[in-house]
Structure 1
Amino acid sequence: MKPTVQTLLDRPELMLRLLTPADSLPEGALAAPVTWAHSSDLVDPTPFLDAGQVLLTTGTWLGEEREPRPGGAADVGAYVTRLRDAGIAALGFGTEVTRAGTPAALVEACLASGLPLFEVPYRTPFIAIARTVADLIAEDAYARQAWALQAQRAISLAALRPDGLSATLAELSKRLGAWVGLIDSTGGLDREFPLGGLGQPALGEVVGEARTMLRRGQRASRAVEAGGTVGRPQRMTLQTLGSGGALRGVLAIGDSPELDQAGREVVTSVIALAGLALEQNRDLDRARGHLRSGLLRSLLAGDVGLAADVAGEMWGPLPEAPLRVLVTSAPEDGIDRLVELLELRVDERGGRLFFGREAEHVVVLAEEPDAAELAEELAAEFELAVGVSDPSSLAQLADAQEEAVRGYERAREAGSGVAWFDDISRQGVLAFLARTDARAVARATLAPLTEYDRENGSTLVATTRTWLENGGQFDATAQALGVHRHTVRSRVGLAERLLGRDLSGFHARADLWAALLAVE
């Protein structure tokens, strides 16, 4: 530990005597670290001093008077105030050089300012105090360096264990005596040491801040105060892992007295090891991803036995019926985060979830209770379009995937969100066929009606739609619109002339209905 004022007072060879009682000083005044010891007899030595230093003086600045004149150049109160404002740790007064004993006015001024004052006997040279401080600082630096080397060696050995990442973080927590947590790239708490060592709401605030850093996608380090709403706030340090644009997670570390320069060097080495471990896991995940995709193709081809055997060895049994197929897609800069989230969900659900990549799609097989929750999570977390099939089985997987693809395409037309195939199928075949590629044709088909409505302020499109919804019945349409049946008949006749079609036949009505669905 760095030397303190109390450390100097406790050295018997220095024979220092404290003149300002400890109970009359501010709390912790004697425990303040001492950075150096400097001697000066200037009236204002502060330009040559730094905070944390001990000043040694023989009182030459007091002059020949027995007591200094108030307001004069040798004003003791002003002298002590200058030292206090400069952050001096303590003042040492050398006796029997220019004065016998320490002036009472100096003692009173130091007590008033809360500045520790000790007396240095004539037989203790100032150089002895300065040498003691220098030796203690050197011993502390050596001890901290030895601590850092020992900690780095222990952490390096921990990294060689089977679960090297967990062992490394556990060792760091032990060495710092602080909570250490790893937030993965999806923004979830992946592991922590000690378990449960950081309670709510501090944990939630740390995870929330880590998610913000991950969303920005840039390497960063941040200190936050967490948990202040229910008690004393805890200072936490957050550091991203991985390279900018491909962050692998965030390392969170609680406050610790060990986090000095040596402690930060140890943390830096852990960040490097953790980043390397996560990158290695990433490469392994990619290899496993290729295996998953191969097994998915086997399942779609109907070879359930082979896929079930391999998947059982790697991840556990495949999902059982009733299951749903989820189809989504993510941009290349977001696919890794999506896959990592799915890997975490596989570990949590063990056997009730399987996924792989098929062409540009990510295909997920989930048992019925989990499918809805997972689909909503993917859509919300990554702002993706997700299509969900009807309940199915592994034997019907190819059909279920096709249903999910249709749902995905419908959800993508809306930008993002979840589209269920059973919702689409309830709208009928025409609604299913009225896809994005039919809209241009539909708009051209309805253009004569929409242009006429726009120019004349009429409602031909709305009237025609209501008429088709009511099976071509003029009376029912008139009642729905609140107009006379002859008005409806007149409008439909005008629509026929504008469209150049006879709407009395089924095919013409069906084509017009499909056009109306496509433009909505």
Structure 2
Amino acid sequence: MPATLTQLLARGELGLRLLTPAGVGDVDAPLAWAHSSDLPDPTPFLSRGQVLLVTEPPEDAEPYVRRLAEHGIAALGFGTEVVRDGAPAELVEACTRHGLPLFEVPYRTPFIAVARFVADRVAADAYARSTWALRASRAISLAALRPDALGAVLSELSRQIERPVALVGGDGAVARSYPSGALDARARRALAEAADPLLRSGRRAAGTVGTDAGPFALQTLGAAGRLRGVLAVGSDSLDAAAQQVITGVVALAGLALEQSRAADAARERLRTAVWRALVAGDLAVAASVAEPVLGPLPAAPLRVAVLSGPAIAAAFDWLDTNASGFFAREGSDLVVLGDDEAAAAIATRFDLRGGLSAQAELDALPAAVEQASAARGRATADEPLPSFEEVAGAGMLALLHTPDARAVARSALRPLTAADPALPGVLRTWLDSDGVYDVAARKLGIHRHTLRARVAEAERLLGRDLTSFAARADLYAALRAST
């Protein structure tokens, strides 16, 4: 470890003597460096943990020592018999008040001897930490060759850095922790809550969190768009060498998780094959293929959820851990059978949009998929997973509220709005009144003959006869869709 003031004072050949009383400052704190300066204020050129060596006493000891103490200087060395014999009493008193250890450097001891001792110990410590990092990295690499590579790597990391290590899975739960029993329920919950936004982001990211077990550094594992988990490492007083080892473990852990992706991809293709067999009506084949690997198919009647969005891959991984029903990828869509709660949960968690069918039998899945797809067209940020019952209950005209229908409707009504922006509203009131001129005229506050003239004007502008039901229905649909 680096030199301390206690070790400096113990070097008989240096002849150093502590001038402040015992208990002033921390004489066992590691010293980062030793620097000499007789500037009135050397703090801009010093760093925390350094020793300052001086030969000239300050004009005003109180503010001088206060600045050094506030800057984090570890100790002050005063060289005697250069400018004066012995350290000024006021300097000793100021150092005592501010908790800054003061020691005497005799004339025969050059400052370079003190600086060299500190520098040698700093260099030795850096070499020792580099050597440790190499040994630790080698031990962790060998651990990666064991059958449970991921568990062995994380366990060895915890042993080497003497800090707790945990892995939060892609589902947001703490999957592993080392050493065993290092994390209680509250600490595990804190890690899961801190990892959740990192996983939701879908991007490689890092963060920190405080727990009952101390502070933890968090680092996502996996590629952007398909994160495999978050590595949590106890980060209390970790130095650069330990950080170097952890960086290597992040790569190894990510590799170990990626090695399972081939099996995951095979399971994903199997799910898609089972789903296509179900849609094709081959129920017996689908059940016989699914049960040994994926488990039994959900019992009918059931609902079908069809979801889409950029985070489909991450949602699929989450379902693989959390869902109890059947799910599969079909192109860019994610299909979930039977587990309504899981579908609603991932729609919210991964910002997906989808639709939910009415209850259906397994032999009616094609119709259920059509229902779910129709409901998906009504999905919003506030209601990401509407049901088909809601869509059907709103009636046929509610299906007109789509961007395509709105564009067609506004194009069809453009002659009316160009001639008189109020004309579409007049026609809407007339049609809402079942085409009865007297009723509509009273609602509009105009004479019925005036209303007839406005309708005739609309017929001329549109080039259509509005006496037929079909023409009126088409105009009414356009008026509804345009708003």
TM-score range, shorter chain: 0.7 to 0.9
- SS of alignment partner, residue 326 of structure 1: strand
Q: 1:262-298 deviations in whole A, cap 9, x for unaligned?
A: 1011111111112323433445433432222222111
- Paired residues for 1:120-269 under 5 Å: 133=118, 136-137=121-122, 140-141=125-126, 143-180=128-165, 182=167, 188-189=172-173, 191=175, 193=177, 194-196=182-184, 199=187, 203=191, 206-207=194-195, 210=198, 214=201, 217=203, 236-242=216-222, 250-257=230-237, 259-269=238-248
> What does residue 405 of structure 1 align with?
373
Aligned to 1:362: 334
How many Å apart are 1:49 and its aligned residue? 7.5
**Aligned mate of 1:114, from 75, 93, 99:** 99
For the Cα contact (< 8 Å) 1:34–1:54, is it kept in 2?
Answer: yes
Deviation at 1:202, TM superposition (A): 6.0
The 5-angstrom pairing of residues 280-295 of structure 1 reads 280-295=259-274
Partner SS, residue 172 of structure 1: helix
Pair 1:342-2:316 in alignment? yes
Query: Are 1:34 and 2:31 an aligned pair?
Result: yes
Give 1:390's aligned residue. 358
CA shift digits 1:315-368 (9 cap, x unpaired): 3333333422222333xxx3xx4222232133213x3241222x4433232434
Q: Displacement of 1:478 after TM fit?
A: 5.5
Q: Structure 1 residues 163 and 469, CA, compared in 2 at 3 Å: closer, same or farther?
A: farther
Which region of structure 1 is more displaced relative to structure 2, 116-125 or 309-318?
116-125
Which residue is 1:304 aligned to?
A: 283
TM-score by length of 2: 0.76
How far apart in 2 are the matches of 1:196 and 1:7?
A: 40
- Aligned counterparts of 2:401 and 2:377: Cα–Cα separation in 1: 12
Query: 1:342 is matched by which residue type in structure 2?
Result: F
Specify the code of the residue in structure 2 equivalent to 1:388. Answer: L
2:335 counterpart SS class: strand
Which deviates the most, 398-407 or 100-109? 100-109
- TM-fit CA distance, 1:401: 0.8
Conservation of the 8 A alpha-carbon contact between 2:195 and 2:218: no
CA RMSD of aligned residues (A): 4.8
| Structure 2 portions without partners, runs of 5+ | none
Q: CA deviation at 1:389?
A: 1.6
* Contact preservation (8 Å) 1:20, 1:110: yes
Q: State whether structure 2 residue 474 is matched by structure 1 residue 506.
A: no
Question: How far 1:475 moved relative to its partner?
Answer: 5.7
- Residue 428 of structure 2 is matched in structure 1 by 465
For 2:225 and 2:357, the matched residues in 1 are separated by 33
1:226–1:445 Cα change, 3 Å: same
Distance 1:175 1:221 in 2: 22
1:519 has 2:482 as partner: yes
Equivalent residue, structure 2, for 1:65: none
- CA distance in 2: counterparts of 1:272 and 1:312, whole angstroms: 36
Distance 1:471 1:321, change over 3 A: farther
Q: 1:386, CA displacement in angstroms?
A: 1.6
CA distance in 1, matches of 2:176, 2:436: 69
CA contact (8 A) 2:50 2:74 kept: yes
How far the C-alpha of 1:499 sits from its partner, in A, is 4.2
**Deviation digits for residues 176-214 of structure 1, max 9, x if unmatched?**
44454556678x4554634447649965873476368x4
Q: How does 1:261-280 map to 2 (within 5 A)?
A: 261-280=240-259
Cα deviation, residue 415, structure 1 = 12
Alignment of 1:77-92 (within 5 A): 88-91=73-76
Q: Which amino acid aligns with 1:3?
A: A
Shift in CA distance, 9/267, structure 1 to aligned 2, threshold 3 Å: same
- The TM-score normalised by the length of structure 1 is 0.71
Post-superposition offset of 1:301: 0.7
- In 1, the alpha carbon distance for the partners of 2:473 and 2:84 equals 114
Residue by residue, what CA displacement relative to the aligned partner does 1:478-508 show, whole Å, maximum 9, x if unpaired? 5665666666556545544554544444333
In structure 2, C-alpha distance between the alignment counterparts of 1:35 and 1:449, rounded to whole Å: 82
Counterparts of 1:506 and 1:49 in 2: how far apart (Å)? 90
**Percent of residue pairs bearing the same amino acid type:** 49
The 8 Å contact of residues 206 and 226 in structure 1, kept in 2 or not, is answered as: no
SS of residue paired to 1:327: strand
Q: Verify the 8 A CA contact 1:325 1:404 in the aligned structure 2.
A: yes
Answer yes or no: is the 8 Å Cα contact 1:177–1:256 preserved in 2. no
Name 2:308's counterpart in structure 1.
Answer: 329
SS at match of 1:390: coil
Cα distance in 2 between the residues matched to 1:511 and 1:131: 94
Call closer, same or farther: CA 1:395–1:437 in 2, change over 3 Å.
same
Alignment of 1:6-17 (within 5 A): 6-9=6-9
CA-to-aligned-CA distance 1:102-145 (integer Å, 9 cap, x gap)? 76555335324532134579999989867765665455445434
Give aligned pairs, total. 477
Unaligned runs of 5+ in 1: 63-67
Q: Residues 198 and 206 of structure 2 are in contact (CA less than 8 Å); yes or no, is this contact kept in structure 1?
A: no
Contact 1:54 1:92 in 2 (8 A): yes
Give distance in 2, aligned partners of 1:144 and 1:56. 28
SS in 2 for 1:299: helix
Tell me, yes or no, if the aligned pair for 2:306 and 2:369 is still in contact at 8 Å. Answer: yes
